[in-house]
Amino acid sequence: MSPEPIGPVDASTRPRFADIATFARLPRLDQVEHADIAVVGVPFDSGVSYRPGARFGPAHVREASRLLRPYNPAQDVHPFAVQQVVDAGDIAANPFDITEAVAAVETAARELTENGTRLVTIGGDHTIALPLLRVAAERAGGPVAVVHFDAHLDTWDTYFGAPVTHGTPFRRASEEGLIDQEASLHVGIRGPLYGKDDLRDDERLGFAIISSVDLETEGLPRAIERMHARLGDRPVYVSIDIDVLDPAHAPGTGTPEAGGLTSRELLAMVRALGEHRLVGADVVEVAPAYDHAQLTAVAASHVAYELISAMGNRH
Ligand SMILES: N=C(N)NCCCC(=O)O
Ligand SMILES: [Zn+2]
Ligand SMILES: [Zn+2]
């Protein structure tokens, strides 16, 4: 029998503002025999097209995650008791060479998932979704349904001739056959595009869209219904760009767009994913330099907590 999971440090006997921060004050990977879920940081932002700083995201989210508690009433689950969740530290990626950095993330993700551990990765910019999806599809034995929360499509082709950036991971992933083209979708899309072709290309690459306006006009229950219908019973990878939230809810990000989701809407949609077989997830694009009073980091840490809870729901 495997031992009982080691949970977070108890905030009622040891102040939650003490100690070096691990995610939710969980044990480190080297302190357990086996991890069901590893939270891992990728402090990398060399793929950004506008404001830099997401390289400081993992540390900022860990700091804000000190406030998380062990029982999640919204999903009626003790996410850190039904499964062993750990902090696996950071994947240190080369800030001067995107190709090398992406390869390093892929290698590290492959190693971390060797014994069935699922990853919840904290970015870092959205470039890192590409190597993470490579490993997720490999582990799932084929393409995965991607549910991608973002203001942006991230299926553009190149920037300055560069094919691997934070605006292009899902085009590359689709071209590489990593995503299930019948079951993938974006949620929260809004704002100006380069042209109409962006949407045509996006559909051809295998994505459906629940836009921010759809959410407003159709409401949350209908959006959740559409998400369930699209994902079906496929293995699901969840990629959450924190800029899916309105800048009022998440100012600390590099390419903010007005008219986004509330954190309440995003948390509700993530909770609904508890019905699905989640093979991995990321929360990216938290850039602390533009944050205020940890607003963005609190949102990101709660989103990660709901993801871990959703993974625990079907444990
Ligand atoms: N992945 C994020 N956050 N943003 C992509 C924006 C790409 C652009 O500048 O057009
Ligand atoms: Zn975005
Ligand atoms: Zn993005």
Token pair of 307 as six digits: 């993801």
Cβ of 166 closer than 6 Å to ligand 1, yes or no, is yes
Residues making up the annotated binding site for Mn(2+) are 126, 150, 152, 154, 241, 243
Domain extent at residue 28: 23-313
- The Å distance, Cα 62 to ligand 2 centre, comes to 21
3-state secondary structure of 3: coil
Measure the CA angle with vertex 277, ends 273 and 281; round to 5°. 70
* 276-304: pLDDT as tens digits: 999 999 999 999 999 999 999 999 999 99
Task: Evaluate whether residue 176 is within a structural domain.
Answer: yes
Q: Exposure string (b/e) for 163-177, b if CB count within 10 Å is 16 or more?
A: ebbbbbbbbbbbeee
Q: Give pTM, 2 decimals.
A: 0.98
Task: Evaluate whether residue 12 is within a structural domain.
Answer: no
Task: Evaluate whether residue 4 is within a structural domain.
Answer: no
Residues making up the annotated binding site are 126, 150, 152, 154, 241, 243
Cβ of 282 closer than 6 Å to ligand 1, yes or no, is no
The owner of tokens 């209908």 is 222
Task: Evaluate whether residue 295 is within a structural domain.
Answer: yes
Task: Evaluate whether residue 32 is within a structural domain.
Answer: yes
Task: Evaluate whether residue 207 is within a structural domain.
Answer: yes
Task: Evaluate whether residue 9 is within a structural domain.
Answer: no
Cβ of 126 closer than 6 Å to ligand 1, yes or no, is yes
- The Å distance, Cα 55 to ligand 3 centre, comes to 14
Spatial distance between the Cα atoms of 112 and 152, rounded to a whole number of angstroms: 29
How many domains, in total, are found in the chain? 1
CATH code for the domain of 295: 3.40.800.10
For atom 10 of ligand 1, the residue with the nearest CA is 167
- The Å distance, Cα 19 to ligand 3 centre, comes to 32
Q: Could you give the dihedral angle defined by the CA atoms of residues 287, 117, 311 and 294, in that order, rounded to the nearest 10 degrees?
A: -20
Spatial distance between the Cα atoms of 8 and 80, rounded to a whole number of angstroms: 8
Residue 2 to residues 6, 43, 269, Cα–Cα distance (Å): 11, 32, 32
Token pair of 49 as six digits: 């097209």
Spatial distance between the Cα atoms of 152 and 146, rounded to a whole number of angstroms: 15
The tens-digit pLDDT sequence of the chain (315 residues) is 568 999 999 999 999 999 999 999 999 999 999 999 999 999 999 999 999 999 999 999 999 999 999 999 999 999 999 999 999 999 999 999 999 999 999 999 999 999 999 999 999 999 999 999 999 999 999 999 999 999 999 999 999 999 999 999 999 999 999 999 999 999 999 999 999 999 999 999 999 999 999 999 999 999 999 999 999 999 999 999 999 999 999 999 999 999 999 999 999 999 999 999 999 999 999 999 999 999 999 999 999 999 999 999 865
SS (H, E, C) 131-180: HHHHHHHHHHCCCEEEEEECCCCCCCCCECCECCCCCCHHHHHHHCCCEC
For atom 9 of ligand 1, the residue with the nearest CA is 49
Spatial distance between the Cα atoms of 287 and 284, rounded to a whole number of angstroms: 9
Phi, psi of 10 (to 5 degrees): -75, 115
Residue 249 to residues 64, 138, 245, 298, Cα–Cα distance (Å): 15, 35, 6, 10
Task: Evaluate whether residue 5 is within a structural domain.
Answer: no
